[in-house]
Amino acid sequence: MTGAKARITVLVSGGGTNLQALLDAQSRGEIPHGEIVLVVSNKAGAYALTRAEKAGVPGVVVEKKKGEQKDFEDRLSALLKEYRVDMIVLAGFLAILSGDFTARWPRRILNIHPSLIPSFCGEGFYGLRVHQAALDYGVKVTGATVHYVNEIPDGGEIIAQKAVEILPGDTPEILQRRVMEQAEWILLPQATELAAKTLTERSTQQ
C-alpha cells in the first residue's frame, strides 16, 4: 500500500451488475477508503467491460485458455503490478484462482457468492446453478455472502451476509434477481469499503 486509498481491481466474467453497484457506490462517495483503478475480464465481450468504459475505468481482457492456470495468473499478476493494485474484488468472476495465487494476496481478495455460505457453495456452484440448488433443496431463506478468498473455493473468512426470502413460484432467474437487488448490490460495496478501510489501517500501522 502506497497511498491513503486502497487501489482496487474488480475481476468479472459477465454482465457486471455487481461491478455497477461498486461503481455507483464509489460515485456516491460510499467507498472512501478505496478507488477502483482497473477492471479485468477473463471473457472478451463481457458487458462488464462496457460498464467500466462508461465509468472511465480501464478495462482489460486477460483470457484463460482451457487447461491454463499458471500462465494466466502470471499475465494477471503482471497487470496488477502495472496498476499498483492493493486489493482484488471478484464480482461474478467465474475462473478459479490457484492456492499459489491466493496465498500471495492474504485478506486482499474478496468474493461475492449468491447464497448463505456454507450452503450451496464450492466448486461447480456459480450463477443460476446456486439458485437452482437452493430451490431444489426447498430452503425458505437464501441470500448472499461476501468473504475473503483463500485456497478453498468459497471457504475463506466471511465478511458479511444478508438473508433473502424464497417465495412460492420462484424460478432460478426470479430468485437470482431478488438476491441481487436485496443483498448483493448492497452488501458488496459495504464489504469492499470495510475491507479497504481495514487494509489502509493495517498498512499505516506497519
Q: Which is nearer to ligand GAR, 58 or 153 (CB)?
A: 153
How far apart are alpha carbons 28 and 31 in whole angstroms?
A: 8
Cα separation values, 40 from 8, 16, 138, 150, 158, Å: 11, 11, 36, 19, 24
**For ligand GAR, which is the closer residue by CB, 72 or 93?**
93
Beta bridge partners of 7: 35
CB 57 within 8 A of CB 38: yes
Burial of 95 (0-12, 13-18, 19+ CB in 10 A): middle
All cell numbers assigned to 129: 446453478
What's the min distance (Å) between Cβ of 18 and ligand GAR? 3
Among 16, 34, 156, 189, binds ligand GAR (CB under 6 A): 16
Instruction: Examine the residue annotation and report whether 113 is marked as an active-site residue of this protein.
Output: yes
49 binds ligand GAR, rule: CB under 6 A: no
Smallest Cα–Cα separation from 153: which of 94, 108, 104?
A: 94
Task: Sketch the per residue contact string, 132 through 171, with ligand GAR: x for CB under 6 A, - otherwise.
Answer: ----------------------------------------
- Minimum CB separation of residue 85 from ligand GAR in Å reads 19
Binding of ligand GAR by 113 (CB under 6 A): yes
Binding mask 79-108 for ligand GAR (x = CB under 6 A): ------------xx----------------
- Exactly one of 112, 149, 166, 195 binds ligand GAR (CB under 6 A); which one? 112
Opening angle at CA 58, ends 53 and 62, nearest 5? 110
Query: Which one among 59, 114, 143, 189 touches ligand GAR, defined by CB under 6 A?
Result: 114
- Is residue 90 within 8 A of residue 110, CB to CB? The reply is yes
- Which residues are identified as catalytic? 113
Q: Which residues bind ligand GAR (CB under 6 A)?
A: 12, 14-18, 91-92, 112-114, 126-127, 130, 180, 184
